[in-house]
């Protein structure tokens, strides 16, 4: 499912227009992004948790030359599925 298909599904389930559903989805995504940028996590009980984790610096290998390279530390977004979501998929 891509973003436009998600907007269509939201419009049908919420009984709103596609335009209103698109605005609502954009607002949710922007809010999640802002919270993660500030270092907060977003917990949707039963669905899952969006968070930011720190990935330590490490040494990798250039696949072409096989030379070791240094990979800098970075922050990565993560998602951990909640119980209700896991149960719905199983």
User: pLDDT, tens digit, for every residue of 33-82?
Assistant: 999 999 999 999 999 999 999 999 999 999 999 999 999 999 999 999 99
Q: What are phi and psi of 7, to 5 degrees?
A: -60, -45
60 pairs with which residues across the strands? 69
Q: Is the pTM above the cut of 0.85?
A: no
What pLDDT score was predicted for residue 84?
Answer: 95
What pLDDT score was predicted for residue 60?
Answer: 95
80 pairs with which residues across the strands? 49
How, if at all, do strands 68-71 and 74-81 pair? unpaired
Contact predicate 48/85, CB 8 Å = yes
């Amino acid at each position: 499912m891509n973003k436009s298909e998600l907007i269509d599904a939201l419009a049908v389930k919420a009984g709103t227009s596609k335009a209103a559903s698109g605005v609502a989805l954009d607002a949710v995504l922007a809010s999640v992004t802002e919270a993660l940028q500030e270092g907060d996590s977003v917990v949707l009980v039963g669905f899952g948790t969006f968070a930011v984790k720190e990935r330590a610096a490490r040494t990798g290998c250039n696949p072409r030359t096989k030379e070791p390279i240094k990979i800098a530390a970075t922050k990565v977004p993560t998602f951990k599925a909640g119980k209700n979501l896991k149960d719905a998929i199983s």
